[in-house]
Amino acid sequence: MSAVKTTEGSVQLDGCDAPLFYRQSEPAAGDARMSVLLLHGIRFSSENWLAIGTLETLAKAGCRAVAVDLPGLGRSKQATAPAAAGELAPAGFLKEACERLGLSPVVLVSPSLSGMYSLPFLHQHQASLRAYVPIAPICTDKFTAEQYRSVQVPSLIVYGDQDTQLGEVSLRNLSNLANRSVVVMKGAGHACYLDDPDAWHKALTDFLNSL
């Protein structure tokens, strides 16, 4: 019998015209010690987290891991996004998703495009977040250094050292977060977790174990 239980489902949000697809892995026995929500970039979906083993790794580490397909992408293509790509989505969008999925307080993993969803949520709903793991997200320049300094949520900034654009821009802005640590993945590009899943999983699980 597997130590991990993996399922698929969908969740309907009030502000969304179609349900969002998600994949979930959790320990087969006993309660999860924390919940992790995995977002994704514009060319990706929850399937990437399944394929590189992040869902399984988190479940084996005692977490309930949910990877959602964002509106208009993956298997949530029928859902209309609450904002245009590159604009900030309403902070309540992820808050409602976490409440509907029973994920609060959540560890939020946010690469690339998903910054348009995660950053408003981070700034407006700190109490709903256990921790924040940005991976070269977009939209970091839409907040001031002072706003970042007021965020107390434990944060792990991850980026690939070959990501000379978004990686460096986001690092510069996110370095103002009050309670942060940084992992630079050597030889990895923008989607650094795909380039070196083992290093990514070690960095993530080490961080979760420190919470």
Asked if 112 is an active-site residue, the reply is yes
**The one catalytic residue among 118, 190, 195, 196:** 190
Catalytic residue among 69, 163, 195, 196: 163
Phi, psi (deg, nearest 5) at residue 32: -70, 145
What's the pLDDT score for residue 173? 98
pLDDT for residue 30: 83
* Total structural domains within the chain: 1
User: Cα–Cα distance between 48 and 159 in angstroms, integer?
Assistant: 17
Residue type, 1: M
> Regarding beta strands 20-27 and 63-68, do their DSSP bridges make them parallel or antiparallel, or are they unpaired?
antiparallel
- Below-70 pLDDT ranges, the chain: 1-2
Q: What is the pLDDT of residue 1?
A: 46
Instruction: Bin 170: left if φ > 0, else alpha if -120 < ψ < 50, else beta.
Output: alpha
Which of 110, 112, 114, 118 is flagged as catalytic? 112
CATH number at residue 58: 3.40.50.1820
Q: Is 14 a known active-site residue?
A: no
pLDDT at 2: 64
Question: How far is Cα 121 from Cα 97, in angstroms, rounded to an integer?
Answer: 11
Domain range for 79 = 4-210
Q: Are 78 and 18 in contact (CB under 8 A)?
A: yes
